[in-house]
Chain A
Amino acid sequence: MNKPILIQNARVVDPASNADFSGAILIEKGVIADIAKGNAPGAPEQSEIIDAKGLVAAPGLIDMRVFTGEPGHEYRETIKSAGEAAAAGGVTTILVMPDTQPVIDDGALVEFIARNAEANTPITVLPSAAITKGTEGRELTEFGLLLEAGAACFAEGRKSIQSAAVMRAAMTYASNFDALIVHQPSEASLVSDGVMNAGPFATFRGLKGIPLEAETIPLDRDLQLALLTGARYHAAQISTARAAELAAFYKARSANISVGASINNLCLNENDIGSYRTYFKLSPPLRHEDDRQAMVEALRNGVIDVIHSDHDPQDTEGKRQPFADAATGAIGLETLLAAALRLVHSSDANLMTVLRAMTARPAEILGLESGRIAKGAPADICLFDMDYPWVVEEATIRSRSRNTTFENARMTGKVTTTIAKGKVAFREGHAR
C-alpha cells in the first residue's frame, strides 16, 4: 500500500463547497482522509509531507472532451501518453471520445479502454460510447449494454448527428437509463467546406467561412428535444454569443441541460489564425472577439457549466498543409489550467468560477465522487502556483503530438504536483 500523503500550508480551494482557506489535506488509502484549516493535523508515521506554501490545492481537473489516438491512431496519442499529459496539466480524470478506429460502439471496446487505462495510466479514464453505431448518425448503439460495460456517457466525438429523428430517439432511449448524451451541435450542410469563422477575416484570407448558424440551428433543435424527452443533455461545446443566449433560455426550463466550452474559444479568437496558422484550425472554429467575450460572460453567469481542453492530437504531417486541407484540432491537456488562469489573471473570471467549471460541475454532470475536496472523496488533487511564469515550449510537450494553440505562449500559473487516486502522478522538475 502506498504511503499516506500530507499536504500542508496550502491554499485549499474547493468549488463544490465554495471553500477557500489555508490548511492541510491528509490522503490515505486513495481517499481524502482529513482536511484541516490552519495547521496540519498530525501525520501518520511514514507519511510523505508536501509543503504547499504559496500553492493552491484544488480538486484534480476533470476534462470532459479528450481525443486519444487509441485504438487506431496510436502514433498521435495513446491512453498512456494522454495520461502523462493530463497529469502534467493537473487533470486527473479524462472523458475520452468514442470516435476512434474502431469506434467505441460495443461493450468489448469500452472494456478495452478501461483495462488499458487501468494498466497504463495513474489517472482516471472514463470511456464514452458512441451514440450511433460507427458514429454514422443512423442507428442507436446498445445503450444498456454499453452502460453495463462501463460507458460513462454517450457521445459522438467530432461527429454531429444530422437527423432530428435520430437525436430524438437517442434522447428518448437514453432517458430510460438516465444516461447522459454529450453532443456537439453542428449542421454539416452549413459547415459545408468552411474552415474558419465566417466573416470579414475569412473573406480577406480567401477562406470559406463557417457561419454561427451552423452551431445555433442544431443546438436549438437539440435543446428542444432535450425538453421534449427530459433526457440529460450536455451541449459538448458552444462558441457563439447566440448559442449562449439559446442555452440560457433552455437551461431556465430544464435542470437536465448543461453546456461546455473549449478553453480555445474562451481564450482565443479568429485573429489568432493570423497568416494561415493551421494549429488554430479548430471545430468549432475560433470566433470573433465579440463571441469570445460572450463565452467568458456565459462562463461567469453559469450558462457555460464546463471548460474542457478539446484535446485533439494531430500529427505534424496533417498540420503541415495549406489551411483548408489541414487537419482540425489542437492538443490542450497540459495547458488547460494555465490557459484558464489567464481568465483569472485578466480579471475576466474569478478562480472559484474557473475551477468549478473544471472540477465540481463536470463531476456533477458525470455523476462522479471526485471533483471536490471532501472527506472520503477520491484523492484527486492538483497543486499549482498561481503566479509562476513559464513559456509553452514544443520540446517539453508530453503529448505525442505537438499541435498546441499555445506554442511559445507566455503563461502565468503552473501545476507543480498532481495526485491521482492517492498517488503522486506528476511532480514538476523545476526548483521552487
Chain B
Amino acid sequence: MAGRQPEPSDTRTGTPGSFLPFRHRHLLGIAQLDPVEIVDLLDRAEAMIPISRQRKALPTLLGKTQINLFFENSTRTQASFEIAGKRLGATVMNMAVRTSSLAKGETLIDTAATLNAMQPDAIVVRHGSSGAVELLSQKVECAVINAGDGAHEHPTQALLDALTIRRHFGRLNGLTVAICGDIANSRVARSNLILLGAMQARTRVIAPKSLLPRGVEQMASEVFTDMREGLEGVDVVMMLRLQNERASGKLIPSVREFYRFYGLDAEKLSHANKDALVMHPGPMNRGVEIDPAIADGPQSVITEQVEMGVAVRMAVLDALLGGETRDE
C-alpha cells in the first residue's frame, strides 16, 4: 500500500469537479488503491447519489461505449452497472456469455481481442477464475472494471459497502466490522478486508474453520469461529452468501447445521452493538445464512447497499472515463 494516509476523519466534499484525477487505467481490485484514492472514490459516489435519486442523466459519458461482459451470471451486478452507465449517458451493451458456450482461457483472450477491435471505452468483466479480469485487461486498450473474479476481488462491492457504512457512521476508521460465513470462497470478503484494513477499521472474520482460508489472519484483525464471541461489540455485521454446494457435506455437513451455528438470527445479533448495521451483498439465502426477520428488520441496510451500488459504479465509470483524456 502506498504511503498516503487517510484523513483522520471523513472528508466528504461532495462537490463535483473537486476530485483527484484518477491515476489508474483500470479498476481491477481494491489492493491497487491507496487510502486517499478510496476516500476520493467514496466522495465521488456520494456526489452521484442525488443524481441517481432524481433519475437524472449526468452526460459525462455521452458518446462512450461500455460493454458488460459477464462470464458468470449475475442479474443484479450487471443491472447495476448497466443503470450506472446509462445514467452517465454511456451506450451500454450486455454481452451474454455463458461459460458453457465459451471454452475457457484462450477464448477469454480471443473475446478480449474481438471486443477491443470494436473500440469500446470500458469493459466491465465478471469471470469465475481469479486473475482472469487482470489477464483480459492486459489484452485491451480500454478501461477494464472488475465486477468479480473468482475468489479474488470484487472492488465495487467493497466500495458500495464502505459507502453504506460511512453514510451511517460518518467514518470508517475505528469501526469494528464482522464478515461472516463462507470467507474461503468469497471475493466480497477479500475486497472488504483490504478496503477496511486500508481505512483503519477493525475487521473480524467469523466462520467455521472449514470455510476459513489459510493465512486469513494476515488479512483480518481478528478471526473467530464462534458467532456470539465474534459479534460481541461490532458496529457492522456483513453476512456472505453460502453457496449451496458447500453445504453438501464436504466443507460443512448441512444447511441446518450451518444455520444453527452461523446463521444470523436475533439472538446472535443481540451480541453486536445495539445499532449495528446488518449487511448482505446478495442474493440472500433466507434461512441459510440469515433469518428473514433480520434481513427485513430495522438494522438491515441491504436495500440501501443496492442503491449505493449504482452510485459507486457511476463514480467508478466517471473516474475512469469522464473528464480529461489521461496520458498513456
Binding site for B on A (CB under 8 A): 198-209, 211, 275-276, 317-318, 320-326
Q: Is the CB of A276 within 8 A of B214?
A: no
Q: A280 CB to closest chain B CB, in angstroms?
A: 12
B132 within 8 Å of A (CB atoms): yes
A200 to B214, alpha carbons, bound, how many Å?
6
Interface-forming stretch among B14-22, B165-173, B215-223?
Answer: B215-223
User: Known: A199-B214, A203-B215, A206-B190. Is A317-B129 also a contact (CB below 8 A)?
Assistant: no
B89-138: which residues lie under 8 A (CB-CB) from chain A?
104-106, 108-109, 127, 129-132, 134-135
For A324, the closest partner residue in chain B by CB is: B129
Q: B212 CB to closest chain A CB, in angstroms?
A: 9
What chain B residues lie within 8 Å of A199 (beta carbons)?
214-215
Binding site for A on B (CB under 8 A): 104-106, 108-109, 127, 129-132, 134-135, 149-153, 187, 190, 213-216, 218-219
A324 to B135, alpha carbons, bound, how many Å?
12
Q: B148 CB to closest chain A CB, in angstroms?
A: 10
A-B pairs, 8 with minimum CB distance = A200-B215, A321-B105, A206-B152, A276-B131, A322-B129, A206-B151, A322-B132, A206-B130
What chain B residues lie within 8 Å of A326 (beta carbons)?
105
User: Known: A276-B135, A325-B129. Is A203-B219 also a contact (CB below 8 A)?
Assistant: yes
Q: Which of B131, B214, B218 contacts A322 (CB 8 A)?
A: B131
For B153, the closest partner residue in chain A by CB is: A206
For B109, the closest partner residue in chain A by CB is: A320
Most B Cβ at <10 Å: residue of A202, A203, A209, A322? A322
For A277, the closest partner residue in chain B by CB is: B131
For B129, the closest partner residue in chain A by CB is: A322
What chain A residues lie within 8 Å of B135 (beta carbons)?
276, 320-322
User: Known: A323-B129, A324-B150, A325-B129. Is A204-B219 also a contact (CB below 8 A)?
Assistant: yes
Q: Which of A202, A204, A206, A317 contacts B149 (CB 8 A)?
A: A206
What chain A residues lie within 8 Å of B108 (beta carbons)?
321-322
For A204, the closest partner residue in chain B by CB is: B219
User: Known: A206-B150, A206-B153. Is A275-B214 also a contact (CB below 8 A)?
Assistant: no
Q: Is the CB of B214 within 8 A of A205?
A: no
What chain B residues lie within 8 Å of A205 (beta carbons)?
130-131, 152
A317 to B214, alpha carbons, bound, how many Å?
31
Q: Is the CB of B131 within 8 A of A201?
A: no
22 A-B pairs within 8 Å (CB atoms) are namely A199-B215, A201-B215, A202-B213, A203-B190, A203-B213, A203-B214, A203-B218, A204-B190, A204-B219, A206-B131, A206-B151, A206-B152, A207-B130, A317-B106, A321-B106, A322-B130, A322-B131, A322-B132, A323-B129, A323-B131, A324-B150, A325-B104
User: Known: A206-B152, A206-B187, A275-B134. Is A322-B127 also a contact (CB below 8 A)?
Assistant: yes
A322 to B149, alpha carbons, bound, how many Å?
10
User: Known: A200-B218, A206-B151, A206-B187. Is A324-B106 also a contact (CB below 8 A)?
Assistant: no
Q: Which of A204, A207, A276, A320 contacts B105 (CB 8 A)?
A: A320
Q: B211 CB to closest chain A CB, in angstroms?
A: 12
User: Known: A203-B219, A204-B190, A206-B151. Is A324-B214 also a contact (CB below 8 A)?
Assistant: no
A323 to B135, alpha carbons, bound, how many Å?
9
A91 to B21, alpha carbons, bound, how many Å?
55
Q: B152 CB to closest chain A CB, in angstroms?
A: 3
What chain A residues lie within 8 Å of B129 (beta carbons)?
322-325
User: Known: A321-B108, A322-B105, A325-B105. Is A203-B134 also a contact (CB below 8 A)?
Assistant: no
Q: B70 CB to closest chain A CB, in angstroms?
A: 15
Q: B171 CB to closest chain A CB, in angstroms?
A: 26
Beyond A211-B214, A317-B106, A323-B129, 16 extra complex contacts between A and B, CB < 8 Å: A203-B214, A203-B215, A203-B218, A205-B131, A205-B152, A206-B130, A207-B130, A209-B214, A276-B135, A320-B109, A321-B106, A321-B135, A322-B130, A323-B131, A324-B129, A324-B130
A325 to B109, alpha carbons, bound, how many Å?
13
A298 to B64, alpha carbons, bound, how many Å?
59
Q: A324 CB to closest chain B CB, in angstroms?
A: 5
What chain A residues lie within 8 Å of B130 (beta carbons)?
205-207, 276, 322-324
A202 to B151, alpha carbons, bound, how many Å?
10
Most B Cβ at <10 Å: residue of A199, A206, A323, A325? A206
Q: Which of A198, A209, A275, A318 contacts B131 (CB 8 A)?
A: A275
What chain B residues lie within 8 Å of A276 (beta carbons)?
130-131, 134-135
A354 to B175, alpha carbons, bound, how many Å?
55
Q: Is the CB of A320 within 8 A of B106?
A: yes
What chain B residues lie within 8 Å of A204 (beta carbons)?
190, 215, 218-219
A326 to B219, alpha carbons, bound, how many Å?
27
Q: B69 CB to closest chain A CB, in angstroms?
A: 14
What chain A residues lie within 8 Å of B109 (beta carbons)?
320-321
What chain B residues lie within 8 Å of A320 (beta carbons)?
105-106, 109, 135
Q: B178 CB to closest chain A CB, in angstroms?
A: 18
Q: Is the CB of A202 within 8 A of B105?
A: no
For B71, the closest partner residue in chain A by CB is: A322
What chain A residues lie within 8 Å of B134 (beta carbons)?
275-276
Q: Is the CB of B104 within 8 A of A322?
A: yes
A208 to B213, alpha carbons, bound, how many Å?
9
A64 to B132, alpha carbons, bound, how many Å?
35
A203 to B152, alpha carbons, bound, how many Å?
8
A208 to B129, alpha carbons, bound, how many Å?
10
Q: Is the CB of A203 within 8 A of B216?
A: yes
Q: B310 CB to closest chain A CB, in angstroms?
A: 25
What chain A residues lie within 8 Å of B213 (beta carbons)?
202-203, 209
A276 to B31, alpha carbons, bound, how many Å?
14
What chain B residues lie within 8 Å of A275 (beta carbons)?
131, 134
Q: B113 CB to closest chain A CB, in angstroms?
A: 11
For B104, the closest partner residue in chain A by CB is: A325
Q: A404 CB to closest chain B CB, in angstroms?
A: 19
Q: B250 CB to closest chain A CB, in angstroms?
A: 10
What chain A residues lie within 8 Å of B215 (beta carbons)?
199-204
